[in-house]
């Protein structure tokens, strides 16, 4: 490990980083889903509410993100749930429309690159959604390890996916920090001893990494 980023901190011994994709390396997924919801002419919060609270919709996204069902199967099923709740929508291209508002977060991408340049091993840990969600991103060049839920058959917030990411990095969970925009994912990782940073912006995440863990990215 490089000497860069070492300091006396409240939680020492953290020197590996796990990073979420959607909502961290991109703009807010929640906002994109709400923008999509607004195009349906009713409650903008309906898509996200169904994915969070509706048993059928929750099963659909869980099965899809875990690699057990295709994008097309999710789209057909979720279009039916939206229609059943008063928002008739075509299934074709549904995931792409839900993700249309996502853009690259260049500041956070630069932060992750700076962490690797400073000597910190980085694993990208992401729940796959659709076929084109990673278009425009060379994931292999952005992290030392890439763990995609659909490829490993388990999704966040399961402890198994975090354990696998740490195993691939060759680090103990107690030495890792997870950067994620969803508290439920941080809670899952915490059960393994992985510390968490709730991501709201690159600047805030950079500050928390430095002040809480002494993890400082190279410029």
CATH number of the structural domain spanning residue 169? 3.40.50.1000
pLDDT tens, residue by residue, 40-58: 988 999 999 999 999 999 9
10: how many CB neighbours lie within 10 A of its CB? 8
Domain final position from 43, 66, 98: 98
Q: Which residue has the tokens 């994931």?
A: 139
Same domain, 23 and 127: yes
- Does residue 8 register a pLDDT over 90? no
Cα 161 from Cα 147, distance rounded (Å): 8
For residue 1, is it within any domain? no
Task: Specify the 3-state DSSP secondary structure of 84.
Answer: helix
For residue 174, is it within any domain? yes
Question: With bands split at pLDDT 50, 70 and 90, how would you rate the model's confidence at 195?
Answer: very high
Same domain, 23 and 33: no
Same domain, 200 and 176: yes
Domain count, the chain: 2
The DSSP letter of residue 144 is S
**Residue 59 near residue 78 (C-beta atoms within 8 A):** no
Question: With bands split at pLDDT 50, 70 and 90, how would you rate the model's confidence at 6?
Answer: very low
Same domain, 48 and 77: yes
Same domain, 77 and 152: no
Domain final position from 76, 98, 120: 98
Per-residue pLDDT, 219 = 87
Helix then strand count (H, E) for the chain reads 11, 5
Locate 81 and state its tokens: 């749930």
**Residue 182 near residue 189 (C-beta atoms within 8 A):** no
Same domain, 132 and 75: no
Cα 219 from Cα 81, distance rounded (Å): 47
Cα 213 from Cα 6, distance rounded (Å): 9
pTM above 0.85, yes or no: yes
Closest among 27, 30, 19, 1 to 197, alpha carbons compared: 19
The DSSP letter of residue 104 is B
Q: Residue 91 sits in which domain range?
A: 29-98
Same domain, 179 and 141: yes
For residue 6, is it within any domain? no
């Amino acid at each position: 490990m490089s000497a860069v980023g070492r300091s006396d901190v409240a939680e020492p011994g953290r020197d590996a980083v796990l990073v979420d994709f959607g909502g961290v390396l991109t703009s807010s997924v929640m906002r994109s889903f709400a923008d999509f919801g607004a195009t349906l002419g009713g409650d903008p919060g309906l898509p996200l509410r169904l994915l969070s609270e509706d048993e059928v919709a929750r099963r659909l996204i869980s099965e899809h993100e875990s690699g057990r069902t295709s994008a097309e199967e999710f789209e057909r099923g979720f279009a039916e749930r939206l229609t059943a709740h008063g928002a008739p929508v075509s299934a074709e291209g549904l995931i792409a429309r839900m993700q249309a508002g996502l853009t690259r977060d260049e500041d956070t991408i630069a932060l992750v690159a700076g962490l690797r340049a400073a000597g910190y091993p980085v694993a990208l840990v992401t729940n796959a959604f659709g076929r084109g969600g990673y278009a425009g991103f060379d994931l292999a060049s952005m992290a030392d390890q890439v763990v995609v839920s659909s490829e490993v058959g388990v999704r966040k917030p399961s402890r198994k996916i975090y354990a696998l990411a740490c195993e691939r990095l060759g680090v103990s969970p107690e030495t890792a920090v997870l950067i994620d925009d969803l508290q439920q994912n941080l809670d899952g990782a915490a059960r393994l001893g992985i510390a968490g940073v709730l991501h709201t912006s690159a600047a805030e995440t950079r500050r928390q990494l430095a002040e809480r863990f002494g993890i400082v990215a190279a410029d």
